[in-house]
Structure 1
Amino acid sequence: MDTGWLSLIALTPILSVLLFLVLLKWPAKRAMPLAFMITVLVAFFVWQVPKNQIAAASMNGVVTALEVLFIVFGAVLMLNTLRESGAIHTIRQGFMNISPDRRIQAIVICWLFGSFIEGASGWGTPAAILAPLLVAVGFPAMAAVMVALIIQSTPVSFGAVGTPILVGVGNGLSGQSNVEETASSLGMSFTTYIQSIGGQVAIFHGIIGLFIPLMLVMMLTLFFGEKKSIRSGLQVWKFALFAGVAFTVPYALVANLLGPEFPALFGGLIGLAIVIPAAKKGWFMPKETWDFANTSKWDPEWTGKLTADRLVQPTISPLKAWLPYVVIGFLLVLTRMDLFPFGDWLKQVSIQVNQLFGTDISLESTPLFLPGFIMICVSLMSIFLYQMNKTQYQSALSQSTKMIISAAPALLFSVPLVQVFINSDVNALGYESMPLLLATTVSSLTGENWPLIAPAIGALGAFVAGSNTISNMMFSLFQFGTAENVGITPGTVVALQAVGGAAGNMICVHNVVAASAAAGIVGKEGVLIRKVMIPLMYYLIFAGGLGYVAIHGFGFNSGTFIVLAVLLTFTILILKFGQSKGQLTYTKENKKSSNM
């Protein structure tokens, strides 16, 4: 079959997801089973993938979906435990004490605390933790999920102590003679070369991520503000850029000086240590305090099963209220550092099946190593910490179980779809896998302009695979080879792959489903994906422009035009809309509603 037609057919699984979720606005639990069936039909009848290969890939996807559900269950159970104990009231009041401004709360909770969680655990955990926490603080559920997904970008390349770089890019390029030769020509070992790519990734992310806090609040006020305007978001530009710098500078320095393991982790911690005291002192803070409209004016689509409780006088100290999350972060780091044996101990409990159904696909799961296990353990510890009674904890357990059951159908079909798509390289016709064929077709059309496209390929991989790590494993070698073929720097192109793969986490289906489930708004995934496409496009366009300039230099070229256009656009927006008009947007009515 002609390569062009084959490429169009290979797009079918992706287009079906976009059609059902984004255009037709079907809930994921309805859209993903049908999209899975379409993918299986394409794999079987067009690619002629053997039945046992499809079955093995699907089973591998089911196991991965169960792992994601386990993580989400742990995050929701932890949140519900804090709700039932009363600790959540203290946490909410603590954020109100930093600032009652919802824009400031979103930046501190998502951008800084979320980046720390991403650096400690990765795998979509931050969105699953942050979304219900924001709802508890008083955000509409859909707003909470949206902002939690937006920060699934800059810190993601170094999530789970560097796994997307060390495992994703490392495994994707390992054992290849051309990669070894390139590293050697630069006077580097293979390991050092991978670390240098990680350093480039951090610089790209640092420049792009500088504006993500501002983008986050612009999106918040545009879609969920009473006036539906970006003006209110732009009025906190000083604080947003300050928070951006407080995270991205240490983030980039750590990546280039210490390696890929801790940029997001240390960036988040250092950022929190800088920004929270500054916020309390009023540095860079807006003159007005912004809040959502009264809950009676909220669009019903914004809310779900999880709602904020009435804010009562806290009876638990701030340290005691935050202690479970502190312990979770500490244990996640401790179990993921090779310096300590704890991670290896947890991995000893392993479910492993090699050559599943007679294929080369292996199934492996280490349930005790998953972040969900740690969160469940800390939840149980909280029973004694807060002296909870049996009824309180049973209520937390019941609420969490119901929420997970509602999210399960979508995940149990979306992840197997991804696995069938990726593993379509085993077929009777000798075709490349569907994602690789798509990437090859695109590269043949672009030539030296490939840096503009490379981040989008990474995002595509994350969208279909649900993971920056897997996207890097799938496409790093392809990106490296394409760069060699068109005569541009391979390491920089692979870095752009990793940057795009991180940004793609904003819209990857199982992240959206997991975060939505955690916030109690299952069935609105398509609406969220459409909203989050805006910051994703910013990320990919800016990354492509920066990559082009990094390779070809500044000059009269498309990369320079893109970079200058992005910077000029933010400058104009800030100058035009970023000035305060002295109007108080946080009214008594708003304040009352925020305490509900």
Structure 2
Amino acid sequence: MYQQVLDPVAGSLAWSAAVAAVPLLLLFVLLGALKMTAWKASLISLAVSVAVAVLVYGMPVGQTLLAATEGAAFGFFPILWIVINAIWVYQMTVETGHFDVLRRSFSSVSDDQRIQAIIIAFSFGALIEALAGFGTPVAVTSVMLMALGFKPLKAAVLALVANTAPVAFGAMATPIITLGKVTGLDSDDLGAMVGRQTPILALLVPLALVAIVDGKRGMRETWPVAVICGVVFAVAQYATSNFLSVPLADVVASLLSAAAVVGVVRVWRPRNSYSEAVAASTATGGGGTSGGSVGTVDELDGRDSRADVVKAYAPYAIIIAVFVVCQISAVKKLLEAATFSIAWPGLNVVTADGEPLSLTKFSLNLLTTPGTQMLIAGLLTMIALRLSAPRALKAYGVTLHQLRWAIVTVMTVLALAFVMNLSGQTITLGTWMAGAGTAFALLSPILGWLGVAVTGSDTSANSLFGALQVTAADQAGLSQLLMAASNSSGGVLGKMISPQNLAIAAAAVGLDGKEGEIFRRVVLWSLGFLVLMCALSALQATPVLSWMVPS
């Protein structure tokens, strides 16, 4: 058995935190400054975290290695299981040529790439986040943007930056439900509080996307569309989370914001349309080529047939239908019969107080995981697109080849996260920050941001730091609800710099080994939004904005 120690370096929490931060800092230096490929950087950082756990924290070598294996397993299931099956659905549409039909359909709404970025990366990405989460929207929207002519690097950056405001309510509000379980606070109250923070981000993200696509000119020419999309999404997310249903917050917000954008462009268009030429071959996302065109473009007017447009949208309609059906209480209860929770063999770790850690239990939710539901959607897509089993298997093989380095990276990063979490390194960092007194209201979002940067998941960050946020709030005389919610709201901003999501984005657009370059393009957006969230959290803890905290 290993009992966590929070201050192993000279009995000092500050010095211990400085040492505990080394693996994570090293990871970002290797990615951002030294431009090292993500899988190599994560392997080196994993080795350093193991060394810190064993040599500084005194964690037995066997327990340390077991922690790493559990993390690697969690990286594959459920996270990679979701992403692999999501990309497989995309590859099948490439194989049949229907992805080109989808591209042309989106282009018919607007041929302006600034508006396309808002609709696809933000609104459609939010819908995918609401239903699946765990990196799926980054994988799906980045390749959709490439099919519309975006350069691979820009497509990846747009997908990552857009995947912020919807994250806290992702996978039918799984992060908030998890936060409620670990803190003992009501999940509806937590959802209402988060719904009074992340909509502020939603107001700004569409403008940020336009700036990424076309700089100041893009913001000047298309700000009406970006503002309307952000306002509609923000109001809908706030209203739904506070008065209707926390799990449905992103579903309602994404659909209404997309409808608003489509409505606006029917009556108003920018003075100039923006697009950048890119070779048609990039539309395959670096993972194979189309197995043949659908060949049904109308020769008279150059438009796709209605039947093929329906087929092009069918995979996404099927995904939505499958996920919605699986959220029905009776169906969900039936699927949960295939969920098993096991203690990771040989792993025996307790907290500094001697309490058993829930992290040592591995949940195998075979049917309720979005990955399996995405697989079911993929099988139905085969039928809808009339794709033979050999061609579908070929598409699956292409997917695995395309994601091979992302698979290594994600499993290694999660191994790093579990070593840091179980040895006590992450809790040391959190406990040190929690000693800031009333200033903790300013730092609270940073803790969530740190958790997501390490694990790539707002759900995991809430599991890790949720209880600590409540304890710190009690010690500093702050609102438990506000601090717990700030953990989740701040966490969404760590998503875009998480090595796990960087690897998924790079693999999806065929830029394996360029994760560091993507990181450098998104890190300032992450930090800028984080500063805003910290300021909001701090003001909500004072009489200035305390009226925003539910009583």
CA distance in 1, matches of 2:389, 2:421: 46
Partner of 1:387: 386
The alpha-carbon deviation at position 101 of structure 1 amounts to 0.6
Partner of 1:104: 115
Partner of 2:286: 305
Q: Out of 30, 52, 56, which is 1:20 matched to?
A: 30
CA distance in 2, matches of 1:358, 1:448: 37
Q: Out of 87, 90, 95, which is 2:101 matched to?
A: 90
2:81–2:371 contact (8 Å) kept in structure 1: yes
Q: Secondary structure at the match of 1:214?
A: helix
The alpha-carbon deviation at position 493 of structure 1 amounts to 1.9
Partner of 2:396: 397
Residues 242 and 391 of structure 1, relative CA distance in 2, 3 Å threshold: same
2:200 is the counterpart of 1:207: yes
Q: Which runs of 5+ in 2 are unaligned?
A: 1-9, 298-303, 350-359, 547-551
CA distance in 2, matches of 1:410, 1:51: 22
CA distance in 1, matches of 2:513, 2:217: 30
Q: Out of 296, 306, 309, which is 1:318 matched to?
A: 309
Q: Secondary structure at the match of 2:209?
A: helix
Q: Which runs of 5+ in 1 are unaligned?
A: 175-189, 222-228, 425-432, 560-596
Partner of 2:428: 437
Residues 468 and 51 of structure 1, relative CA distance in 2, 3 Å threshold: same
CA distance in 1, matches of 2:396, 2:203: 39
| Segment drifting more, 59-68 vs 246-255 | 59-68
CA distance in 2, matches of 1:146, 1:415: 22
Residues 355 and 95 of structure 1, relative CA distance in 2, 3 Å threshold: closer
| Amino acid corresponding to residue 552 of structure 1 in structure 2 | T
The alpha-carbon deviation at position 291 of structure 1 amounts to 0.9
2:213 is the counterpart of 1:220: yes
Residues 390 and 259 of structure 1, relative CA distance in 2, 3 Å threshold: closer
2:510 is the counterpart of 1:526: no
CA distance in 1, matches of 2:381, 2:322: 15
The alpha-carbon deviation at position 295 of structure 1 amounts to 4.8
CA distance in 1, matches of 2:277, 2:311: 32
Partner of 1:241: 227
Identity over the aligned pairs, expressed in percent? 26
The alpha-carbon deviation at position 515 of structure 1 amounts to 2.3
| Amino acid corresponding to residue 541 of structure 1 in structure 2 | V
Partner of 1:34: 44
Residues 498 and 262 of structure 1, relative CA distance in 2, 3 Å threshold: same
The alpha-carbon deviation at position 371 of structure 1 amounts to 2.5
| Amino acid corresponding to residue 456 of structure 1 in structure 2 | I
Residues 88 and 304 of structure 1, relative CA distance in 2, 3 Å threshold: closer
Q: Secondary structure at the match of 1:154?
A: coil
CA distance in 2, matches of 1:553, 1:545: 14
CA deviations 1:259-301 (Å, max 9, x no partner) are 421101111122223322332x133x311101124559x9x9x
The alpha-carbon deviation at position 158 of structure 1 amounts to 0.7
The alpha-carbon deviation at position 199 of structure 1 amounts to 0.9
Let me know the Cα RMSD of the aligned residues.
2.5
| Segment drifting more, 117-126 vs 369-378 | 369-378
2:482 is the counterpart of 1:492: yes
CA distance in 2, matches of 1:352, 1:18: 33
Residues 550 and 308 of structure 1, relative CA distance in 2, 3 Å threshold: farther
CA deviations 1:439-477 (Å, max 9, x no partner) are 222343x43232222111110011112211111122122
CA distance in 1, matches of 2:153, 2:49: 29
The alpha-carbon deviation at position 389 of structure 1 amounts to 4.6
| Amino acid corresponding to residue 421 of structure 2 in structure 1 | I
1:75–1:518 contact (8 Å) kept in structure 2: no
1:63–1:365 contact (8 Å) kept in structure 2: no
The alpha-carbon deviation at position 390 of structure 1 amounts to 5.7
CA distance in 2, matches of 1:24, 1:381: 44
Residues 232 and 57 of structure 1, relative CA distance in 2, 3 Å threshold: same
The alpha-carbon deviation at position 392 of structure 1 amounts to 4.1
CA deviations 1:71-130 (Å, max 9, x no partner) are 221111111111111211221011110101111011001111111111112222211221
2:468 is the counterpart of 1:478: yes
1:356–1:362 contact (8 Å) kept in structure 2: no
Q: Out of 338, 342, 348, which is 1:359 matched to?
A: 348
Equivalence map 1:107-256=2 (5 Å): 107-167=118-178, 169-174=179-184, 190-191=185-186, 194-221=187-214, 229-256=215-242
1:141–1:306 contact (8 Å) kept in structure 2: no
Partner of 2:276: 292
| Amino acid corresponding to residue 38 of structure 1 in structure 2 | V
Residues 353 and 443 of structure 1, relative CA distance in 2, 3 Å threshold: closer
Partner of 1:414: 413
2:322 is the counterpart of 1:331: yes
| Amino acid corresponding to residue 476 of structure 1 in structure 2 | G
The alpha-carbon deviation at position 554 of structure 1 amounts to 3.5
Q: Secondary structure at the match of 1:497?
A: helix
CA distance in 2, matches of 1:156, 1:387: 34
1:127–1:145 contact (8 Å) kept in structure 2: yes
The alpha-carbon deviation at position 548 of structure 1 amounts to 2.0
| Segment drifting more, 371-380 vs 247-256 | 371-380
Q: Secondary structure at the match of 2:346?
A: helix
Q: Secondary structure at the match of 1:211?
A: helix
When normalised by structure 1's length, the TM-score is: 0.81
Residues 484 and 394 of structure 1, relative CA distance in 2, 3 Å threshold: closer
CA distance in 2, matches of 1:244, 1:376: 32
1:56–1:359 contact (8 Å) kept in structure 2: no
| Amino acid corresponding to residue 500 of structure 1 in structure 2 | G
